[in-house]
Amino acid sequence: MKTFTLEEITQITGGMLTKVQDAKIEHIAPPLLADENTLALALGEDEIANLAKSKAKAALVPLGVQIDGLTTIEVERPRLAMMKLITLFYKEPEVNEGIHPSASVHPEAKLGQNVKIGPNVVVSRGAQIGDNTRIVANVYIGSDAKIGSNCFFHPGVNIGDRVQIGNDVILQHGVSLGADGFSFVTENPDNIEQARKEGHIKEGTADNHVIFKIPSIGSVVIGNNVEIGANTTIDRGTIENTTIGDNTKIDDLVMIGHNCKIGKGCLIVSQVGIAGSCVIGDRVVLAGQAGLADHIEIGSDSIITAKAGVTKSFPEKSIVVGIPAVPRKEFIKQLKTMKDAQEIFAKFRKYEPLLKEFEDNINNDNN
């Protein structure tokens, strides 16, 4: 069991220690779950209030918070300090040393130094895996895939042919990289093409039209220090590669279509769907369940809010809201207009009897 002194915790977090009593820290937990050997994490007002009910001898608190009778470590950025502490106590999934006997590694694959490969992993012909990369059970790595150093792949990851992955990449359970893109064509213009071009669908569209698959001969390129969440899928490009920039973090259950270009340092939250051939700039945030239509561009440092339905491009530093998505200021203006309209309608209903009486009088005078 890992144990740390209060002084060690203070040095690691870069905090300021106010010591009332000594303690050996073996765990971290919220105040109500903490005991005498646990550092209570009181990062917000509710947790700070709960310290009065806690059994903990010491607590991590925001800068400027002091509790009578309790040892505190004050930090300027509590969430950053929490990350450092969790890293101390985190235990990664176990991976066997070397290559597990049940793994299948092609003779033409190239493995770097200290590579660890778990049960039932398949490494195909021509694949390359960099130094210190660890691959847990039931992972498939396609032909000529290139994987960098210090990567960690959780169980059930599938990596297609020719996919390129940088250094320090984490792939969570069930990630799929490099499946064929959702790309098809019909012999004659279909209803989607008609709707886009003419704004309506003509009658007499053939019922027996054939949908032809367009194969994907591009692949997927993942930059350095990228993390991709469980059951996220990133499709290969039709001709050029689908790309994900350095330091981008992608949540669970995200779909990124073929030919997309995602920039550096982006945050893409769960259940986002990005249709094919979108270009996303650097440091863009796509909040949960946002959807992007194909062939649009989102400029760097933009925020797409949750459940936004994005049907057109937006420049850098945009804050985009709603369905269909519009700039935040315009969305607020729309809400105000709707509120004003409700007030006007309420006044109309109030005076509607007088208006009807007035109209009746005019009609009687005309008769």
Just list the catalytic residues.
Answer: 258
Element at 338 (helix H, strand E): helix 328-366
Instruction: Compute the distance between CA of residue 22 and CA of residue 328 in angstroms, rounded to an integer.
Output: 51
DSSP 142-204: -TT-EE-SS-EE-TT-EE-TT-EE-SS-EE-TT-EEEEPP--EEESS--HHHHHHHHSS--TT
Instruction: Compute the distance between CA of residue 269 and CA of residue 253 in angstroms, rounded to an integer.
Output: 9
- Contact status, residue 286 vs residue 305, Cβ threshold 8 Å: no
- Contact status, residue 318 vs residue 297, Cβ threshold 8 Å: no
- Contact status, residue 327 vs residue 310, Cβ threshold 8 Å: no
Instruction: Compute the distance between CA of residue 37 and CA of residue 32 in angstroms, rounded to an integer.
Output: 13
CA atoms within 13 A on the CB side of 296: 17
Instruction: Compute the distance between CA of residue 68 and CA of residue 89 in angstroms, rounded to an integer.
Output: 28
Integer angstrom CA distances of residue 317 from 175, 288, 302: 30, 19, 4
Return the axis-axis angle of helices 78-89 and 6-13, rounded to nearest 10°. Answer: 120
Instruction: Compute the distance between CA of residue 218 and CA of residue 242 in angstroms, rounded to an integer.
Output: 8
